[in-house]
Amino acid sequence: MDRRSPSETLLRLLGERSALFVLTGAGVSAESGLATFRGPDGLWEGRDPASLATPEAFARDPETVWRFYAWRRRQARRASPNAGHLAIAALERARPQTDGFLLATQNVDGLHERAGSTRMVRLHGSLWRSRCAAEGVEIDDDRDEFDEFPPRCACGGPIRPGVVWFGEALPEAAWALAERGARACAIAIVAGTSSLVYPAAALPDIAKRAGAYVVEINPEHTPLSDWAHERLAGPAGEILPSLVGPEAHR
């Protein structure tokens, strides 16, 4: 059933400080002014993901790929965390026990970190990291201006954005922690994702099979909407704050 305010069941579970797993996607940053990927005004609208977010695209046309990510870095630098990011950080602070909270984000924009989230894993890398495509090592390089394409590592190899593209494996440690967090939680909150991209989209199912109460926060219907225990149909920046604070934890 679609609703905008949390059910008694959810408020009770939150009030008990039950172990919480949060999975986020681009929709959580939409209210910070950053475009999502899919849908009308999305980043993939009028752009072919295969020409921007695959290792093959980078090998074929590193300049187009780097210009896209340099533009994304400029957009993200100008953005600020919104009420949804801040609410997730507050939900973490309310669960000081190590196993009581984990945030797994598909977002690469760094807004969760800037909002104060610490117990988190980045499933799809970071806009603020680069990597040598030849050696695989991460490089401290978050420039958005370049004098050559692709920029070069000291070893001579091409430097690429430190994100996970289609067809690439997710960072092993981040995935292992996310899977463990999903398996161990009592509540799984899934906010602002189309639930289309795997393996991240499998995490709510892992949580549900392990017995968790699964809650979706999204103004639009997704494949998860059909089987989540609770669906809060609205913007994350409005709904997430309603899960925080003494009134939500009675």
Residue ranges that bind ligand BJW, judged by CB under 6 A: 25-27, 30-31, 36-38, 42, 53, 106, 108, 124, 163-169, 191-194, 196-199, 217-220, 222, 235-237
> Which is closer to ligand BJW, CB of 117 or CB of 193?
193
Query: Is the dihedral angle over the CA atoms 214, 53, 115, 39 positive or is it negative?
Result: negative
> Cβ of residue 16: shortest distance to ligand BJW, in angstroms?
25
CB of residue 97 to ligand BJW, shortest distance in Å: 28
Of all residues in the shown chain, the one whose CB is closest to ligand BJW is: 27
Q: Compare residues 198 and 246 and give the one whose CB is closer to ligand BJW.
A: 198
Q: Between 199 and 245, whose beta carbon lies closer to ligand BJW?
A: 199
Cis peptide before 150 (omega within 30 of 0): yes
Q: Which of 85, 112, 124, 249 is catalytic?
A: 124
Q: Closer CB to ligand BJW, residue 4 or residue 16? A: 4
What's the rounded Cα separation, in Å, for the pair 98 and 210? 19
Choice between 100 and 235, CB closer to ligand BJW: 235
In angstroms, what is the minimal distance from the CB of 12 to ligand BJW?
24
Alpha-carbon separation of residue 63 from 51, 87, 124, 135, 213 (angstroms): 11, 38, 21, 20, 45
178 secondary structure, DSSP code: H
Q: Kindly state the helix (H) or strand (E) to which residue 138 belongs, with its residue range.
A: strand 138-139
Residue with tokens 């909270």: 101
Q: Is 85 a catalytic residue?
A: no
For residue 156, the minimal CB distance to ligand BJW (Å) is 25
Locate 109 and state its tokens. 């924009």
Kindly write down the DSSP assignment for every residue of 203-228, as one continuous string: HHHHHHHTTPEEEEE-SS--GGGGT-
Shortest distance in whole angstroms from residue 52 CB to ligand BJW: 7
* Least separation in angstroms between CB 83 and ligand BJW: 10
> 12 or 233: whose CB is closer to ligand BJW?
233
Which DSSP helix (H) or strand (E) runs through 184?
helix 172-184
Other Cβ atoms within 10 Å of 136 Cβ, number: 8
Integer Cα distance of 219 and 205 in angstroms: 20
Q: For the chain, how many residues are written?
A: 250
Check whether the bond before 49 is cis (ω within 30° of 0): no
Known catalytic residues are 124
